[in-house]
A = this chain, B = another copy of it.
Amino acid sequence: MLSPDRPVTSQDIPTAAADVLERVRARAPRVHCITNVVAQNFSANMLLAAGAIPSMTIASDEVVEFVAQADALLVNLGTFDAERRVAANLAIDSMAQQGKPWLLDPVFVNRSEKRTQFALSLLSYRPRAVRLNSTEFTALSGSELDGASLARFGEKHQTVVGLTGETDIVFGDGRLVCIGNGHPLMSKVTAMGCAGSALVGACLAVEKDPWVAVASGILILGVAGQLAGERAAGPGSLATGILDALYELDAATLAERARVI
């Protein structure tokens, strides 16, 4: 158990992640995802495998009712269209009024100027976290990735940054953790990052400290991916295997496998 008497540090993340996963399974939080079409099915399955309950509607006359019953919200910009933009704005407003967490996944923000502008406009609504890769970070922050730019970005937008890559980095409120889990095959499965963001959403729903929640979600995905990757014959069996591994993941395996600094 973590002690409430001292701040959580990076060494605590494996224990904290096991605790967060247990709470996801016990509470079955509802996570509403406004995400791209390619990622919807896999993200829903990722949430179900973790013990959470997904919803996915983007219809503007329904989304507010759905979000009112959700415990966390993910806004992902892949295959972005007019309907999703409207839904995102409505949903974020509603979460803000309810004081519930939401996170932003600015997919491919580096590929289109319009996406960058839209992502920046959403940042002003204070997502609890932003999950992205280094190319997307550069496009969004306007600076090369280094410790200073990461700190500046997190400070400016008052958000936790979950930066995924060969080593994942989670930065927030002066705390930093590096996670060396995962498997090369994960990059050969479409929407793996998007589904990971949905999983982070489930963690935000049950854990108030967003740095702990983001680090937990990324570590859980990384360990599940590593276990699946060791058994997989290729990206097809990795995609199904990671759902199996996530479903059966336990605290002992998390502790044993976590590569956290």
Contacts and interface: CB of A to CB of B under 8 A. Distances in A.
Interface of A: 36-42, 44-45, 48-49, 54-59, 61-62, 65-66, 69, 78-83, 108, 111-115, 187-191, 232-237, 239-248
A61 B113 CA distance: 10
Contacts of A65: 111-114
Contacts of A112: 57, 62, 65-66
Contacts of A38: 40-41, 44, 56
Overall SS of chain A's interface: helix
Given A58-B79, A233-B244, A189 B45 contact: yes
Given A55-B108, A65-B113, A236 B45 contact: yes
A49 B235 contact: yes
Contacts of A45: 189-190, 235-236, 239
Q: Which 8 A-B pairs have the closest CB atoms?
A: A234-B244, A236-B243, A236-B240, A44-B190, A234-B247, A233-B244, A65-B112, A236-B244
